[in-house]
Amino acid sequence: MVLALAPPDGHYGLLLAVVPFLAASVHGAQATAALGLLTVAAFGGLHLWRTEDSADVALIKLAFVTAAGLIAVLVSQARGRERTLDRTRNVALALQQGLLPRAVPGNSAVDVCHRYVPTDTEAGVGGDWFDVIKLSGARVALVMGDVVGHGIHAAATMGRLRTAVRTLADLDLPPDELLARMDDLTAQLTDEDDTRDLGATCLYLVYDPVSRRCTMASAGHTPPALARPGGTVEFPRLATHPPLGIGGTPFTTTELTLDEGTVIALYTDGLLDLRGRGPDAALRDLADALTPADRPLPQICERIHAQAPADRDDDIALLVARVGTVPADSVATWEFPPGPASAGRARAATSGQLERWGLDEAAFTAEIVVSELVTNAVRHAAPPVALRLIKDETLIFEVSDGSGTAPHMRLPRLMDEGGRGLYLVGALADRWGTRYTETGKTVWVDLPMPARASGGAAAIETVP
């Protein structure tokens, strides 16, 4: 085009204006500026020995070449900023995907399906996260959270908070106490870096497949959606609390009893997109997408995601879980009076129940574990002492008592006469720990399930 408008015999020097644009397509702003200066200097030098043009025409041509160089520098800067934003977004997205769970397997308590869809905006990905945490007693915790802001800092904060939630969940804290500690932790992180707002919302839900009780607490997060098997959808009214990071906030829990097959949907506010539609319409669309609840979970996830607006400006995190139950014939409970004979009675009751379940191979290991736990409860704790066996993916043994003092494992020395019981339990078990209740504590142990397993009859009795 330049050749057509400016033939070489008259305006061939104007071809030099193309050089800065070529540099902008390859090099950065500094290199483009340097080549632009050289272009202007070369054009000016060409007119030192050309006298055909008047001074005014020469100045116009020089201004044209100079303007072309400046525009090329601006184009190069814009391309550099675009590359930086893309690189920052890719790093934040990779960081977030690395911190989120890669796989969320289901268990006897829940079958789960999840979706995470990052937004495509200049602000970058957000700090949305979700988790499914296996707890003691065949229970499971469902977590959904959203960190304020976008970009690498939001993703890094999300990873820190998710790790803290898993650590506190391993202590078997109730939802209200867990959120209270998360609130204090977030406030401490804010104090460490007062240049950023590190607030976050969080919903923590615990489901027990034995009692079918669902306990939840929220820190400024959207309530879950519950799709009952009968076709109704409800959004439980949770106690209103501020997001994490305020510090000193007392949280309260909400308890519900769920029917088998109920679908729980946890989500972040990006799914509702309240900037583009009203809250009533958003919740109505979500309820329509959840029903009927007996469909496969991937279909429910896809339908919910399809309800989200395409022009949203926030990430979407979605976790859908269908609750199950532990059959009554897979749970056995006994109570024992204080006394040295309780350990022997507990061993006999355990071996008999395992025989009815067809798990004779596990009897020897189970008797060792039960004997140690019941003996500790009788000697060092307060009545009542209860033993519960649960046949699930693992064999679960729980001994409850009325004391709030938890046992601690220690490595005994060579000449010590005691202190080896819990050490032996820890060596035999997959996991073990203590959770506190309103009346005392429960010490639980998970043993691996033998290869041969069959059903059996229920056993709920009191041993005199």
Domain boundaries, the chain: 2-92, 102-323, 328-460
Q: Cis bond leading into 384, ω under 30°?
A: yes
Residue from 199, 128, 129 nearest 166 by CA = 129
Identify the band that residue 404 occupies on the pLDDT scale cut at 50, 70 and 90: confident
Identify the band that residue 99 occupies on the pLDDT scale cut at 50, 70 and 90: low
Over 70: is that where the pLDDT of 122 sits? no
Identify the band that residue 106 occupies on the pLDDT scale cut at 50, 70 and 90: low
Which stretch of 161-170, 245-254, 288-297, 312-321 has the lowest confidence by average pLDDT?
312-321
What stretch of H or E contains 34? helix 29-46
Over 70: is that where the pLDDT of 194 sits? no
C-alpha to C-alpha distances, 379 to 156, 304, 372, 418, nearest whole angstrom: 47, 55, 11, 13
Over 60: is that where the pLDDT of 5 sits? no
239 against 56, higher pLDDT = 239
Over 50: is that where the pLDDT of 359 sits? yes
Quote the percentage of the chain above a pLDDT of 90: 38
Question: What CATH number is given for 328-460 in this structure?
Answer: 3.30.565.10
CA distance 425 to 399: 13
pTM confidence score: 0.78
Identify the band that residue 316 occupies on the pLDDT scale cut at 50, 70 and 90: confident
Identify the band that residue 63 occupies on the pLDDT scale cut at 50, 70 and 90: confident
pLDDT at position 206: 97
DSSP H helical segments within 381-445, as ranges? 421-428
Q: What residues contact 328, with CB distance under 8 A and at least 6 apart?
A: 458
Mean of the per-residue pLDDT values for the chain? Answer: 80
Question: What CATH number is given for 102-323 in this structure?
Answer: 3.60.40.10
CA distance 13 to 9: 10
CA distance 300 to 293: 8
pLDDT at position 282: 84
Q: What residues contact 316, with CB distance under 8 A and at least 6 apart?
A: 115, 116, 117, 119, 128, 267, 268, 270, 271, 305, 308
Over 80: is that where the pLDDT of 461 sits? no
Same fold, 102-323 and 328-460: no
pLDDT at position 367: 92
